[in-house]
Amino acid sequence: MTVGSREAIRLVLQISEREHGERLDKLIASRVTGMSRSFVQQLMKRGAILVNGEPCKPAQRVRYGDRLEVYLPPVEPPTDLEPEFLPIPVIYEDDDIIVFDKPPGIVTHPAPGHEHGTLVNALKAIRPDLQVQPSHRPGIVHRLDKDTSGLLVVAKTEAARLALLEQWQSRSVVKKYTALVHGVVEPDSGTIDAPISRDPVERTKMAVVSWGRPAITHFRVLERFRCATLLDVTIETGRTHQIRVHCAFIGHPVVGDSQYGGDRPFCVPVPRQFLHARYLRFVHPTTGQAIELETPLPHDLRTVLEALRHCEQEQARCPVRD
């Protein structure tokens, strides 16, 4: 299918047993990040969405085994993003993807109050010809908080973006973090299975609430100190602030996280929240090969650990107040 003189992007979806009976426009909007139900309905009116090869209607209910074809219009290069050259290391790149080692202090994509200095602004500067949706955050598949460092994958083509989104949504991507949390975590490993949604009182925060979306975090103790514990954290889901919310929920907030840990004092200076996205494993969207990437703890967080270890060696009292 073509749109004007340019080829549309074809996305094929297979309906699973658990999706049987769902409304078609709602299902597609939930499966394809960045697509609203109104945009899906517009595509249906144009005949750009087919169910088992036939045109469809928004309120149509899908059946187990149905094959959906979604023809997305060609992507125009974004024109409203200001290119900015920023010191963000690229640790892997090919024709389909680019993986950054995001430093702390950089927002992933523009948002109110953060229109400049984002990773997307940097992407626009180094790869100005990318034609990937959505236009305000082209190629972004997932995100990291401003003060969280580590690995972040960006798609360089629309086909790659859709394939990667499918992996993130199906929870097949392995995502590991290093976190330092307050207090001594007693079990050597554990799982936090607690739903997360917007905090009903403080709307700028997330919280564990009964009506929230499922969120699962696994942790393993790497090292214990008198006032803190170093954790290896793996997340199955990717809810906003998930690790920070879950750690605070079990009484061990991330060190340096003022939003969820308050002004809790710590025994050594901490420049920002001690959270680093150190490891990713996913399937390459084109070749099908496994991509496995890891980045070491950055200098500012290594300095915190060195200070803590020195404190332990000197058997100094950790001046943390209750």
Show which residues are catalytic: 145
Structure tokens at 301: 């967080």
| Alpha helices for the chain (secondary structure H) | 24-31, 37-45, 119-126, 158-169, 242-249, 258-261, 299-313
Distance CA 161, CA 134 (A): 10
What's at 257, amino acid-wise? D
> What are the E-state strand segments in the chain?
2-3, 6-7, 9-14, 49-51, 54-55, 67-72, 90-93, 97-102, 149-155, 174-182, 189-193, 196-198, 206-208, 216-224, 228-235, 275-283, 290-294
| Tokens matching residue 241 | 């602030």
Q: Which of 73, 87, 186, 194 is nearest to 134 (CA)?
A: 73
- Residue 176 in contact with residue 232, Cβ under 8 Å? yes
Rounded to 5 degrees, φ, ψ at 312 are: -65, -45
Transcribe 162-191 into DSSP letters.
HHHHHHHHTT-SEEEEEEEEES---SSEEE
